Amino acid sequence: MADHDTVQEKDYREAMMLDRIEAFRRRKPRLTDEVITSAHGAGGKSSAALIENVFLAAFSDPDRGPQADAATLTMPNGDRLGFTTDSFVVKPYRFPGGSIGHLAVHGTVNDLAVEGATPTWLSCAFVIEEGLAVAELQAVVADMAEAATEAGVTIVTGDTKVVGRGAADGLYITTAGVGLIPAERRLGPDLVKPGDVILVSGTIADHGMSVMLARGDLAIEADIRSDTAPLGGLIEDLLAAAPNTRWMRDPTRGGVATVANELARDADLGVVLDESLLPVDPAVRGACDMLGIDEMYVANEGKVVAIVPPEEEAAALAAMRAHPLGKRASRIGEIVADPTGIVVLRTSFGGTRIVDMLVGDPLPRIC
Amino acid sequence: MKFVDEYRDPAAARVLLKVINDLAAGDEFKFMEVCGGHTHTIYRHGIEHILPEGVELIHGPGCPVCVIPMGRVDDAIAVAEHPNVIFTSFGDMMRVPGSKGTLLEAKARGADVRFVYSPLDALRIAVENPTKEVVFFAVGFETTAPSTAVTVLRAREMGVRNFRVFSNHVTIVPPLKAILESPDLRLDGFLGPGHVSTVVGNRPYRFVPERYGKPVVTAGFEPLDILQTIVMLLKQIREGRCEVENQYSRIVRDEGNPRALKLLADVFVLRPHFEWRGLGFIAQSGLALRPDLSMFDAEVYYEVPGVRVADPKACQCGEVLKGVIRPWECKVFGTACTPETPIGTCMVSSEGACAAYYNFGRMHREAAVTLGRRA
């Protein structure tokens, strides 16, 4: 039996060390890499370091608030516009539940919707590699048109570039979108308070697992469909039922875990998630379990995470569940005052653990 | 999920926790879980914070990715950077740094590095790309070595000439011995490696109680397996017994898997020495391809630098692996050494003791216990 120091002394020293690490962790992420790797695009810590040290270092405007999925621009007459852009490089172009064309519309309209804007106009730019079949391009464009109609937006301008064989991987699409934000609407991490509850509009990890399986390099077959969908309608219903909704995000790349970490950081509060409350489709859970991938880090393309005050929880859930895209809306956790800046998961097993930002791409474990 | 949820039942956990509490009776115990898979389960389900304070789990050397030394990663990168090579690897191996970066960085510089789930996938890539040379970065204990063995034999059977293996397979008993020989060891018993034991059985661990007086209980990988194993270890100690027991009997047999063992003997030979990150050179601990299979041996085919790179000085991984210090007691833990910029072996894979603690467990015990209670 160990005898070198007492439990109390050990706890004290550990606590000191944890405080030091927490202080260290809050420092701005440093970019130490010499070349860009796939980790810089995975939405985790490396992405944050890249954005902080390359893009914000060059472009940032000190008057603008925390980084968000869409910018809020105030017009001279006081009207506010949401403005955002996103690029789409997914392979394969088609996967169960959607295509790169659907994503190109949904990704951008959802970034606007979670900032409280009403998505209205989109632009689209195509980078096409020589050799792409015209029929393939037509099919993708038809999906974009269909998605735009469903989302109630108009694609109003665009651009096309063709690059030589090998200079791109088939087809890249970039869309940008704008929409008005109703005058009375206020959303932001600064409005979030301890005691607020965290809701998600439905099952998580469907999109990421669907694409991963559709790539076909895993010897797993499962009926998993992407959730790609426009969230504008669902979000309008939610905001009508819960007018004091504090903050929203669509948990795309990096999943619910990354969104929760961004919230904890920007609101400077603690986020507690409850594993047993996370809605996950059994096939998705099985595939994640088999591959050693944590479903909380897997992408969604048709879900919203919303923070609402506790007194509006019931109304918010009822409104979402009444919408076809929100049938499995659930409360998944709550906001606490302490520990700040950290996301904690209550495991179904009765324990607790930290849910940190992902370091790189979610790579499968060996055993 | 059927057949999984049964092993994650919170009500059963509460029963086992009460037994653990009663058996521990406020005394202090340190048990080492040998396998990285156990470490993963312990953190993923938050088991550390529900155990009584005196019962501590030390994370052992069984993370196959973490034990590969820097020099071998450099060799792997040198092979991967050959112009005609498709280099295949398990996913988490790609983030492990050598002295000049990781395989992921080599990939970003233009090397064709791909991750696979099985060596058979690598063989398939070789068959589909006959003009390329395909190399599989074989890592792992006796758990993954049989699948490498099957693949090599299949390649020979099929007459595939563009497939080679860079073998870094290791065996579990030598590092256990190295840990047990350490003079500053403070351990009361071992949660034995479940996956490895499906191959080697339970007999190879008998020297642990017999020679070193520490109990071993071979453990499964679900959270209830871990708790039940702790109960079995505490019972042995309280009853004055010291032996090898098998908690994972639904999978592991005492004699192991004779077919897999024969495959290993047919394909591999023990190297005289193999270097382990954090533990140094250990005799008879690494597996190389047999000489008659050298046409599949990447080390024979390619010239690799083969330079030994010393573990960084500031790093105390050796002591963490032996359970002498806890991850957070290392001088560079959490500041210079983090999952983004790992210095030592224990930080490189998510299964490593330090990375697991940093990613999942870095929390005041009090806060963890309070937050763990459901409102």
A71 & A49 share domain: no
Closest residue by Cα to residue B244 from B195, B201, B209: B209
Closest residue by Cα to residue B70 from B353, B343, B356: B343
Q: What is the mean pLDDT of chain A?
A: 90
CB-based contacts of B305, cutoff 8 Å, min separation 6: B71, B74, B75, B78
Contact B182, B298 (CB under 8 A): no
Mutant choice from A353, A356, A357, A358 vs B, greatest count of B C-beta within 10 A: A353
Q: Tell me whether residues B328 and A18 touch, CB distance under 8 A.
A: yes
**Among candidates A32, A356, A366 on the partner chain, residue whose Cβ is nearest the Cβ of B64:** A366
A133 & A194 share domain: no
Annotate chain A with three-state secondary structure.
CCCCCCHHHHHHHHHHHHHHHHHHHCCCCCCCCCCCCHHHHCCCHHHHHHHHHHHHHHHCCCCCCCCCCCEEEECCCCCEEEEEEEEECCCCCEECCEEHHHHHHHHHHHHHHCCCCEEEEEEEEEEEECCCCHHHHHHHHHHHHHHHHHHCCEEEEEEEEEECCCCCCCEEEEEEEEEEECCCCCCCHHHCCCCCEEEECCCCCHHHHHHHHHCCCCCCCCCCCCCCCCCHHHHHHHHHHCCCCCEEECCCCCHHHHHHHHHHHHHCCEEEEEHHHCCCCHHHHHHHHHHCCCHHHCCCCCCCEEEECHHHHHHHHHHHHHCHHHCCCEEEEEEECCCCCCEEEECCCCCEEECCCCCCCCCCCCC
A277 & A203 share domain: yes
**What does DSSP assign to residue B311?**
P
Q: Tell me whether residues B45 and A218 touch, CB distance under 8 A.
A: no
- Residue pointed to by tokens 């193999």: B274
Q: What's the average model confidence in pLDDT over B73-79?
A: 96
Predicted confidence band at B349 (pLDDT cuts at 50, 70, 90)?
confident
Model pLDDT, residue A6? 67
- What is the three-class DSSP state of B216? strand
Predicted confidence band at A364 (pLDDT cuts at 50, 70, 90)?
low
Predicted confidence band at B223 (pLDDT cuts at 50, 70, 90)?
very high
The angle at the Cα of A313, spanning A312 to A316, to the nearest 5 degrees, equals 85
Q: What does the alpha-carbon distance between residue A309 and residue A245 come to, in Å, rounded to a whole number?
A: 7
Q: What's the average model confidence in pLDDT over B66-91?
A: 93
- Checking if the pLDDT of B262 tops 70, the result is yes
- Checking if the pLDDT of A272 tops 90, the result is yes
- Please give the CATH number for the structural domain made up of B5-65+181-246: 3.40.50.11750
- Please give the CATH number for the structural domain made up of B70-172+257-301: 3.40.50.11740
Give the end of a domain, one of A181, A205, A232. A181
Query: Which of A217-231, B129-143, B306-320 is most confident?
Result: B129-143
Count CB-CB contacts under 10 A for residue A225.
16
Contact A249, A259 (CB under 8 A): yes
- Of residues A365 and B140, the one with the higher pLDDT is B140
A72 & A57 share domain: no
Q: What's the average model confidence in pLDDT over A130-141?
A: 96
Domain-wise residue ranges, chain B:
5-65+181-246, 70-172+257-301, 317-362
Model pLDDT, residue A66? 58
Report how many domains make up chain A: 3
Domains B5-65+181-246 and B70-172+257-301 share a fold: yes
The angle at the Cα of A147, spanning A237 to A115, to the nearest 5 degrees, equals 45
Looking at A63-67, B118-122, B350-354, B366-370, which range is the least confident one? A63-67
Q: What is the β-pairing status of strands B268-270 and B29-35?
A: unpaired
Min Cα separation B145/chain A (Å): 12
DSSP β-bridge partners for residue B246: B218
Mutant choice from B371, B373, B374 vs A, greatest count of A C-beta within 10 A: B371
Percent of chain B with pLDDT over 90: 60
Q: What does the alpha-carbon distance between residue B66 and residue A356 come to, in Å, rounded to a whole number?
A: 21
**Among candidates A217, A345, A350 on the partner chain, residue whose Cβ is nearest the Cβ of B13:** A350
Contact B264, B130 (CB under 8 A): no
Please report the ipTM that was assigned to this predicted complex.
Answer: 0.80
A15: in domain: no
A362: in domain: no
Q: What does the alpha-carbon distance between residue B239 and residue B215 come to, in Å, rounded to a whole number?
A: 12
Residue pLDDT, tens place only, A219-235: 677 889 999 999 999 99
Q: What does the alpha-carbon distance between residue B313 and residue A38 come to, in Å, rounded to a whole number?
A: 30
DSSP H/E element including B139: strand B133-140
Residue pLDDT, tens place only, A37-65: 877 887 777 888 898 899 988 887 766 65
Mutant choice from A10, A46, A269, A349 vs B, greatest count of B C-beta within 10 A: A349
A307: in domain: yes
Predicted confidence band at B2 (pLDDT cuts at 50, 70, 90)?
low
Contact B102, B96 (CB under 8 A): yes
A176 & A194 share domain: no
A48 & A165 share domain: no
Q: What's the average model confidence in pLDDT over A77-106?
A: 94
A255 & A277 share domain: yes
Q: What does the alpha-carbon distance between residue A67 and residue A307 come to, in Å, rounded to a whole number?
A: 17
The angle at the Cα of A277, spanning A295 to A264, to the nearest 5 degrees, equals 70
DSSP H helices in chain B: 10-24, 36-44, 70-80, 103-108, 119-128, 145-158, 173-181, 194-200, 207-212, 223-238, 258-267, 298-301, 317-321, 345-348, 353-356, 365-372
Closest residue by Cα to residue B351 from B91, B72, B54: B91
Query: Interhelix angle for B119-128 vs B145-158, to 10°?
Result: 30
Structure tokens at B43: 């953190």
Contact A202, A327 (CB under 8 A): yes
**Among candidates B46, B361, B369 on the partner chain, residue whose Cβ is nearest the Cβ of A347:** B46
Give the end of a domain, one of A20, A46, A61. A61
Residue B68 carries which side chain, given as an amino acid letter? I
Predicted confidence band at B339 (pLDDT cuts at 50, 70, 90)?
confident
Q: What does the alpha-carbon distance between residue A222 and residue B84 come to, in Å, rounded to a whole number?
A: 35
A364: in domain: no
Q: How many CB pairs under 8 A join A and B?
A: 177
The predicted model scores a pTM of: 0.86
Predicted confidence band at A356 (pLDDT cuts at 50, 70, 90)?
confident
Q: What does the alpha-carbon distance between residue B114 and residue B116 come to, in Å, rounded to a whole number?
A: 7
Q: Tell me whether residues B91 and A356 touch, CB distance under 8 A.
A: no
Predicted confidence band at B126 (pLDDT cuts at 50, 70, 90)?
very high
Looking at A131-145, A198-212, B54-68, B104-118, which range is the least confident one? B54-68
Give the end of a domain, one of A181, A204, A224. A181
**Chain A residues near residue B348 by CB distance under 8 angstroms:** none
A317 & A193 share domain: yes
- Of residues B251 and B367, the one with the higher pLDDT is B251
A49 & A131 share domain: no
- Checking if the pLDDT of B160 tops 70, the result is yes
Phi first, then psi: what are they for B145, rounded to 5°? -60, -40
Search chain B and give the residue with CA nearest A335: B371
Structure tokens at B209: 């109680």
| Cα–Cα distance list, B334 to A232, A237, B49 (Å) | 42, 44, 20
**Among candidates A20, A35, A352 on the partner chain, residue whose Cβ is nearest the Cβ of B105:** A35
- What is the three-class DSSP state of B144? coil
**What does DSSP assign to residue B171?**
-
Predicted confidence band at A2 (pLDDT cuts at 50, 70, 90)?
very low
- Of residues B335 and B71, the one with the higher pLDDT is B71
| Cα–Cα distance list, B174 to A9, A92, A98 (Å) | 34, 46, 52
| Cα–Cα distance list, A250 to A73, A184, A229, B81 (Å) | 20, 22, 11, 39
Domain hosting residue A310, numbered range: 189-354
DSSP β-bridge partners for residue B138: B167
| Cα–Cα distance list, B102 to A274, B97, B346 (Å) | 35, 4, 16
Q: Tell me whether residues A17 and B13 touch, CB distance under 8 A.
A: no
A360: in domain: no
- Checking if the pLDDT of A123 tops 60, the result is yes
DSSP H/E element including B62: strand B55-62
- Of residues A362 and B127, the one with the higher pLDDT is B127
Q: What does the alpha-carbon distance between residue A122 and residue A151 come to, in Å, rounded to a whole number?
A: 11
A80 & A214 share domain: no
Search chain B and give the residue with CA nearest A281: B1
A127 & A264 share domain: no
Q: Tell me whether residues A365 and B43 touch, CB distance under 8 A.
A: no
- Checking if the pLDDT of A304 tops 90, the result is yes
Model pLDDT, residue A3? 47
Asked if the peptide bond before residue A339 counts as cis, ω within 30 degrees of 0, the response is yes
Which CATH number characterizes residue A165's domain? 3.30.1330.10
Q: Tell me whether residues B139 and A1 touch, CB distance under 8 A.
A: no
